[in-house]
Structure formats: C-alpha cells, structure tokens
Structure 1
Amino acid sequence: MDSQETTSGVDVGRLPGFYAIGAADPDRTAVIDTDGAEISYGALLARVNQVCHGLRARGIGTGDVVAGVLPNGIDALVMVMATGQIGLYYVPVNWHLTAPEMAYILKDCDAKLVVTSPDHAMPGAEIGTDGLAAGQPDTAPGERTAGAVMWYTSGTTGFPKGVQRPLPGAEPEALVPLYTWFFGEVVDLRPGAEVHLVTSPMYHSAPCAHAQFALHLGHTVVITSRFDPENVLELIERYQVSNAMMVPTMFHRMLRLPEDVRNKYDLSSLRQVIHTAAACPVSVKRQIMDWWGPVLYEYYGSTESTIAFAVKPHDWLARPGTVGRPAPTFEVKILDEAGQELPPGEPGMIYVKSAMGTFEYRKDPAKTAASMRGEWYTPGDIGYLDADGYLFLCDRRTDLIVSGGVNIYPAEIEAALLEHPAVAEVAVIGVPDEEWGHNVVALVQPAEGVTPGPELTASLLEHCEARIARFKHPKVVEYRDRLPRTPTGKLSRSKVRQDYLS
C-alpha cells in the first residue's frame, strides 16, 4: 500500500490540508492525546467546525483575536485549526506565566475571547472548547478564510510584543500547497501515513506549527504533556513515530540515560527529528546521530523570520556546527556596524528577507522599524557565511539568554529584582550550561546597610514568584560591592559577563 493511502484508498498527498482530509478520510487517526485517548480526522474536523460556529455566535469576526491558555492536548489543536478556518488571529499563551504577565498579553492583543483549561481558569474565560461547540452544527462554516497564529515574543526591553502577519484573505486550502512544498524542501516532510510526536509545550511557535502542519500533511499527532526522556523513547517505539520536533536540552537529557535504558527501545521508525531554538553542541549532535542514525534536521530563524536557514543531516555532517543555508524564498546578508556587506568568513549582523511575507509588531511601529533595514530583518544575532553560503552562528544577541530552548530576557528579570528594597543594582546574565544551554545568573549590588547572604537570596527569589514565571528565576544569585558601568553611566552587562566568566 502506498504510504500516502489508507485502507479507504484515499491519497492524502492529493488533498489540500486538514479540512479536506477530515471530510474525505474521516476514520484516519488524527490525534493521540497525552492520556492515550484517540480522535479521528472526521471527529476532530466536526469539533473544529462546531467551535467555528460557536465563535461566530459570540460575535467574533474576521481579524478579531482569540487567545488560549491551554496545556498540550486536543483542545489546543482545536483552537488552532478553528481560528485558522474563519480568519481569526489566535494567541497561544504560556500557562507558566504569572497572572500579571498573562494579563499584559491578553490586554495588548485585544483578545475578544480567552479559552483555558480547568487548571488555568480565569474570570470571563471559556473552560475548554465544550461550551463553544455545544449545540452548534458540525458542518463547515460559510465564508471560510485563513486565519493566523500571532505569537508573543519578548524584545530586549522584556515586554512581549505580538508578531502579527497580514491575513491572506483566501481559503485555508489555498495556502497548504505552498507550506507543504516548503516543509518538504526544508525537512523532507511529506503527506502520508506518518506519525508526528509533540515533545514541547504548544504555546511555543515551533511545536505548535509542526503539530498544525502534521495535520495538514495527514499525519497522526501523538502529544506528550511534558518531556520525559524515557517516556519519549517508549512513545517512539509504541507508535512507530516517524518525525518529531525537539530542542537540544532534550538530547542532553536522553544521552544521560543509562545505556541499558537507551538500548531498550526500537527507534528505527524515526526519519526526521527536527531541532531548533538553541545552539546544539557538535558533540551532542554527533552522539545522537550515532545512536539514532542521520535523522537530525536543524533550522535557524525566529518568530519574526520563521525558518530562515536549514540544514539536512548529511550536509551538517560535512560541515559540523552550521545551521544551514538560506531556506527557499529567503535571502541573507551579513552586515557590519556601518551596514556594509561582509565577505564569507567575516562575522557580522545577520539580515534576512523572504518572499513568504512580512510582519509587524502589534501596536509598536517603532520596534518594527528598529528591527528592519529596508526590506531586511535582523534577529539580532552575529554570524558568518562560509564560501558555500552555509551560516555559522558566533553568538546569540548580546543580552538574550536561551535556556532549554526558551528565550529569556535579562531586562525583565532585572526590573523585577529592582523592585525589592534590598537591591541597589542588578545585572542578569546567561552562563553556559552543558544541559540547558545557559543558566540565569543574577549579580546583585545590595542597598546600603543590607547584608548579603542566604536569607537575602531566599527573599529575592520569593519576591520573584508573583512577578515573573519560574523558568525566568535566577538559578544563581551572587553579590557584588559594585557593578561596572559604561562611560555614559549605563550598566555594562557585557563587562559583568566577562568578569563573571573569567
């Protein structure tokens, strides 16, 4: 039987996406949830259609914003696919955030409706999708038009901004061939009877996007509630997983499993394990491919630029450490501080542009303009191209901390700590860590008359609890009599980092 067919004889490779597959091949398994519950493409499409009608019944129309504070599960995918069918912006919100952090995002995005799980209930929000679906028809809504996911990403100020793209104004099916082609070119994903494993929270852009397009490709999506190294190996064997999206921290943790545990599971079904979000040490990547075979695909980009560079396994093995060449439709320039293009081998600021579309930061034209040089966007990272056009990263943007594949911004943590009366000055830096990529370290200059020590550290961490999410909390707090400043009087985080590392 052809890998693109099911027992019904339907060739999903010829169908433009999830909505068509759900109608033509309703018995195909769409999702296997964290508790093992399964839902077919037909049943999932019926629920998606009901939620579409329910959203419209609430007066929510094209261009409006709906937010979800949802753990990994079927409801999270229902909201992505429903808003994507009726021209809405959908904002997934990290449920680890504090109440003030969530409130900021929900206010800034002008969410007309918020859908949460019972564990994350908030005043005025819908609990799950049952209420939206109740009593609604399961037929396709009229005037179908593609929506978009709007991700909130922090800048160097620490205040998240929505990355908003223009709505295409076309039926969802009109976009599927382009994205199917793009994913096929970049990571060799194809329509058919494949199985995709979700290993990370779907409030992050890459895990959500890969789960969404797995459905458009007709794959079965297996969802984990949280990453557990051995559990992931067991799921790969049990469901014959063929593709997954991971971050380097996960590779570290799986490599630390005892050898007898690692050898216990059959991983031969894997064909594509895609990693992104943080730099992966060459030795770690080599060890994983020694174990799993040449299945690691890497791409580099950002929420704003999407997938800008990509490298397949054999190309990486020939050039260890590269993050790849420009993805289809992308162009790249490496510029010096004066904006002059640099030759191969010379590090500079990375700029990209793409024919795939533009973006703007919601309600912040100044920030949008600051990130652009004409049509060219910079993620703020430094790198160089080799003679064959492969990109090598030298460093993430100066102040950004990437820990466990998650972006953490020092200014936000510093602002929270400076609210404590015992803190005169503080500098937050990222310190290299073998497992996490970087750990958050806070260097604190106590206020006059304050004695540093374990009691102050405990007080500072308790102070952070209500202000910033736990994953942003410093792993280490150290004290300094004075923190260095630049000649203009600004805190010199680079000098702090240099002193600490030396």
Structure 2
Amino acid sequence: MPATLADLWFDRARTQADDLAADDGTRRVSWGELLRLADGAAERLATAGVGAGDVVVLQGRNTVEWVVTAGAVHLLGAALAPLGSEEPAAARQEYAVRVGARAVVAEHPAAGELALSAVQPGDLDAGTLPPRRANPAASAVAVVLATSGTAGHRQWVAMEHAVLIRMYDDVAGLLDMASGDRLLGIVPLAHSFGFNGLLVLALLSGASLRLVPDRDRDALAGLVRESAATIVAGPPALLHDLAAAVRAGESLGPQVRLFMTGATEIRPSALLPLAAEVGIPRVSAGYGLTQTCGTVALCPNIAQASDGAHVPMTVLPGVEVAVLDAVGRPVPPGTRGRVLTRGYHVAVPVGDDGWFVTGDEGHLHPDGSLCVTGRVDDQLVVSGFNVDPVRVELALERSPLVARAAVVGVPDPRSGHRLVAVVVPADGVDAAGRNEAAVLADARAVLTGYEVPRTVVWVDALPHTTTGKLSRAAVRGLLAEHLTDQEHVQEA
C-alpha cells in the first residue's frame, strides 16, 4: 500500500497514464498529464517559498486547476488546507493565520495571495514522469480541514497520509470502486466528503472525476447523463433534486450504479423510493465526522441492511464505537445513547482512554453495527454540512438591528434542516425597522451559504433556563407558535 498521497499520484500516472483522471466541463486531463501538471505547479509554489512541512491554503471551485494545485502541494511534501469557495476574504485571512499557512492560493486572490491561475504551469514535456520532489513520512499531515466548533469558532483538523489511505482503501473496497467508475464531483473538494470521498477515493481506485465548478439544479440530471457518471455523491438533498428532475421529464441514463451519501440521520424509507424513481439501483450511507477523518462506519447498500427506520452501518476495521447513556454508562444493544468512537482515525485530542465523544445519538445492534438516529447536541446538518448555531448567532448579532439571536433547525425533507433565526430587535428598532434582508446581508459577510438562515422570526425576548443559559428547547416551542403567524415570519 502506498504510504502517502504523493505515492498515489505517481502510482496512478504509472499504471493509468492515458486514462481520464478529471474534467470540469472545459478541460480534460489524464492521470499522466495530471501528475506532470501538478509537478509544474509544484515548481511555481516552490518559487513562492513553499517546501516540505509547510501549509498551503487553497480556495476555489471544483476545477482541474484546483486538483492540480492540491497535487502540487503533496508533491512538495506540504499540507493542504482547503477552504470553501464561498468564504469571504476576511475568513480566508483568519484561516491562513490559524493554520500557519506559508502561502494562500485563491481563485480570486486578495493582496499578498497567489492566483490559482498563476500557479498553473505552461507547456510540459509529454510522456515523461517527473522525479520525486519530497518523501514525506506516512505520519505527516496531508490535509487540514475545517469543521464547526462548539463555542462559535471553528476547529482545524489535521489528517495524516497513512490514516487517509488506510481508511479510504477500506471504503473503496466496501463500495466496489474500480478504475472504470466515474465520480460526479458536486460536493465541494474543500470539505471532508469532497476531498476524502471523491479525490482520495479516485486516487486509490483510479476512478475518474467529473468536477462540477458551479452547481445548477436545473442542469443536474443532464450533467449526470452526459458525463456518464457511474457514482453520484452528495447529501440526501441531491437525490431529492434528481427525483424532481426525473419527474419533470429528465433522465439520468442507465449507467449510474450507486448514490453515495452521508448525513447524521439516513432514513431508508425516504431515500430508497427516490433512488428507485430515478433508476439508481444502490444507495450507500456513511457516518463520520471531520474529527474522525470523515468516516466511522459505512453501509454499502441500505436496501439490503435497513432495519426499517434507520441504517445499520458496518464499523470500519480498526475503529471502535460505543453508545453511552447520559451519565456515561454503556447501554445494551437497541438502546439509544450518545455515540463515542476511538481508533487510528481520531484526529483531534482526546482523553487518556482515547474515546472521542460525538454529538450524535444512536444505538448498536447485537452484531456491532451502528445506527445513527439524530443529534444530542445543538449541531445542525444542512445539505450534509454541519452547522454550529452559535457561529450563526454571532454572525446575526453583527447587525445593529439585532440584540440577541438564537438559531434552530426545522426538519426539511430535502436539506435535513432548514435554519430559522429567532431574533430580538436592538433597542430603538420598532416593527417598521425590522429589516430581515439587512440582517442576513451582514451575516452573509462572514458565513458560507448553507449557514445563512432561510427564515427570520422576530420576538421580544429569548427564553432562558434558571441558570441564565439560552433554552433551545423553549426557543423551538416559541418558534412553533410564531411559524403559524405569517405576519411575523419573513422567508429570506
């Protein structure tokens, strides 16, 4: 087994030099070409001072240029720190400081940053593979990915080469992934699902990537058909969109064999009819967190394993899972509790016992398989992405119109949760001054698109517990009353 992602880049170029590696609708490259392009980009990054052990922030859409630059970082023995393409410049600068970046590469760079286009090499010698530039240890950091924190700020999770290769080699095997597969890359490569579940899997299996720089719901079904995608990956909302397109007369073609998804809670009763409607014979479901390098357990085919309401997932080799009650005692199979995990895959500091405590609720089956049934903390999931409500609340409170804010999730069959902001107006702001558009505009300056609430509800005060803490349960009850009064609700 190759030791690093750089090894995988060379393996693909040696064994599948002329096979299609990636295309983004405007540019197609083979594995051999991709390696040579990455080596040329590595030369440009080296000229900018990047070397082994450094960190490079990369921001951009899902394009061939993005993949080339990611490969260049790994060929240099550096660590990649990708950032979502929607992140504003201020967030990018904060991110670079937090991860100690040597360089920032962006599709639309600010002062002092490198343009993604400028990193791309010119003409290259065809047919020859470049020499190795660096030989990082298998334990070196390959990628640093951002995840929502629990106190209004983010965590930065460093993932090692060996961990990613071990984990996603197991995942590729469970999904029967091979070089003939074609992955549709709608999920952003800057996120764990995209980087690990698309790029790393492609490097391991030799499957090609059809990258999607800009998602267009109306063009989605045609893109699946015309790209000859065999695997479509994304949150459950994506399957809802495909089903809507098919109902409108579109076709995905006969080639799609697998819809690969992951979310806190997967309901077969909702997903399997949609898959049948669009003609996808197999749906897989994975569970994991960025803090655990993306995957803890996987069900390769939810139609074969479903227990009705939830999906029993096989825990990956080398990974342990436990379910505890509210006071930390193990519960018997079938009893719900908080999910914990430990093993080689945990990439954040934990206690001496090695257990990482998740915010998820679930139960174990007697055979050791895991069912995830929801959240036990306040974290929300929108279209497959974790959203920390505290972070969103702080962004909303930037507005001079808002004194306090609370964010909760309303169940949504398409996106998992629809974010609702319950806000208290600032002193002096009367009913006429409650401008939802202005409040959300201020929030958008520091949030990504999926973190922005869709609904704003104005209230006179937020409910608190006897100890002075915000009572989210009471907020949800308050929200239920207001959502029936359309005069107080503004859809954003």
Query: TM-score band, normalised by the shorter chain?
Result: 0.7 to 0.9
Partner of 1:3: none
Counterpart of 2:323, as a letter, is I
Partner of 2:363: 384
Matches within 5 A, 1:53-202: 53-117=43-107, 120-128=108-116, 130-131=118-119, 133=121, 139-145=130-136, 148-166=142-160, 178=166, 181-190=169-178, 192-202=179-189
Shift of 1:45: 0.8
Counterpart of 1:500, as a letter, is L
Shift of 1:382: 1.3
Give the number of aligned pairs: 465
Work out the CA distance in 2 between the residues paired with 1:348 and 1:400: 16
CA distance 1:311–1:482, shift in 2 (3 Å): same
CA distance 1:457–1:84, shift in 2 (3 Å): same
Partner of 1:49: 39
* More displaced stretch, 198-207 vs 180-189: 180-189
Encode CA deviations 1:10-65: one digit per residue, 9 max, x unaligned. Answer: xxxxxx73312313442221112133x21121111101112223333333222210
Encode CA deviations 1:112-143: one digit per residue, 9 max, x unaligned. Answer: 111111xx221111112544635998722333
Counterpart of 2:383, as a letter, is G
Partner of 2:396: 417
Shift of 1:201: 1.8
Partner of 2:450: 471
CA distance 1:430–1:77, shift in 2 (3 Å): same
Counterpart of 1:108, as a letter, is R
Say which SS state the counterpart of residue 22 (structure 1) adopts: helix
Work out the CA distance in 2 between the residues paired with 1:42 and 1:485: 60
Say which SS state the counterpart of residue 90 (structure 1) adopts: strand
Shift of 1:354: 2.1
Residue 39 of structure 1 is aligned with which of 16, 25, 29?
29
Q: Is residue 442 from structure 1 mapped to residue 386 from structure 2 by the alignment?
A: no
Partner of 1:255: 243
Work out the CA distance in 1 between the residues paired with 2:400 and 2:226: 54
Partner of 2:466: 487
**Residues 165, 358 of structure 1: 8 Å contact kept:** no
Counterpart of 1:383, as a letter, is G
Work out the CA distance in 2 between the residues paired with 1:17 and 1:447: 55
CA distance 1:43–1:373, shift in 2 (3 Å): same
Q: Is residue 315 from structure 1 mapped to residue 304 from structure 2 by the alignment?
A: yes
Work out the CA distance in 2 between the residues paired with 1:26 and 1:202: 23
**Residues 81, 212 of structure 1: 8 Å contact kept:** no
Work out the CA distance in 2 between the residues paired with 1:198 and 1:289: 18
* More displaced stretch, 148-157 vs 423-432: 423-432
| Structure 2 alignment gaps of length 5 or more | 1-6, 482-492
Shift of 1:282: 3.1
Q: Is residue 18 from structure 1 mapped to residue 18 from structure 2 by the alignment?
A: no
**Residues 36, 124 of structure 2: 8 Å contact kept:** no
Residue 205 of structure 2 is aligned with which of 209, 213, 217?
217
Q: Is residue 29 from structure 1 mapped to residue 16 from structure 2 by the alignment?
A: no
Partner of 1:359: 347
Counterpart of 1:68, as a letter, is L
Residue 195 of structure 2 is aligned with which of 185, 205, 208?
208
Partner of 2:330: 341
Partner of 1:9: none
Residue 317 of structure 2 is aligned with which of 328, 331, 334?
328
Say which SS state the counterpart of residue 200 (structure 1) adopts: coil
Work out the CA distance in 1 between the residues paired with 2:449 and 2:105: 23
CA distance 1:341–1:56, shift in 2 (3 Å): same
CA distance 1:102–1:238, shift in 2 (3 Å): same
Partner of 2:477: 498
Residue 304 of structure 1 is aligned with which of 278, 281, 291?
291
Shift of 1:293: 4.1
| Structure 1 alignment gaps of length 5 or more | 1-15, 169-173, 361-367
Encode CA deviations 1:60-101: one digit per residue, 9 max, x unaligned. Answer: 222210011111101111122222233211011112122222
**Residues 196, 211 of structure 1: 8 Å contact kept:** no
Counterpart of 1:302, as a letter, is L
Shift of 1:185: 3.4
CA distance 1:255–1:175, shift in 2 (3 Å): closer
Residue 279 of structure 1 is aligned with which of 250, 265, 269?
265
Say which SS state the counterpart of residue 380 (structure 1) adopts: strand
TM-score using structure 2 length = 0.87
Work out the CA distance in 2 between the residues paired with 1:308 and 1:316: 17
Work out the CA distance in 1 between the residues paired with 2:264 and 2:330: 26
Shift of 1:472: 2.2
Say which SS state the counterpart of residue 150 (structure 1) adopts: strand
* More displaced stretch, 469-478 vs 453-462: 453-462
Work out the CA distance in 2 between the residues paired with 1:323 and 1:373: 29
Matches within 5 A, 1:260-271: 261-262=249-250, 264-266=251-253, 268-271=254-257
Shift of 1:318: 5.2
Counterpart of 1:341, as a letter, is P
TM-score using structure 1 length = 0.85
**Residues 239, 275 of structure 2: 8 Å contact kept:** no
* More displaced stretch, 85-94 vs 285-294: 285-294
**Residues 312, 369 of structure 2: 8 Å contact kept:** yes
Shift of 1:229: 4.3
Encode CA deviations 1:201-225: one digit per residue, 9 max, x unaligned. Answer: 2111112221232133222211112
**Residues 87, 144 of structure 1: 8 Å contact kept:** yes
Say which SS state the counterpart of residue 96 (structure 2) adopts: helix
Matches within 5 A, 1:284-299: 284-291=270-277, 292-299=279-286
Encode CA deviations 1:411-451: one digit per residue, 9 max, x unaligned. Answer: 11211222334333221111112222111111112234431
**Residues 452, 479 of structure 1: 8 Å contact kept:** no
Work out the CA distance in 2 between the residues paired with 1:258 and 1:24: 38
Shift of 1:275: 0.3
Over the residues paired in the alignment, what is the CA RMSD in angstroms? 2.6
Work out the CA distance in 1 between the residues paired with 2:243 and 2:454: 23
CA distance 1:397–1:68, shift in 2 (3 Å): farther
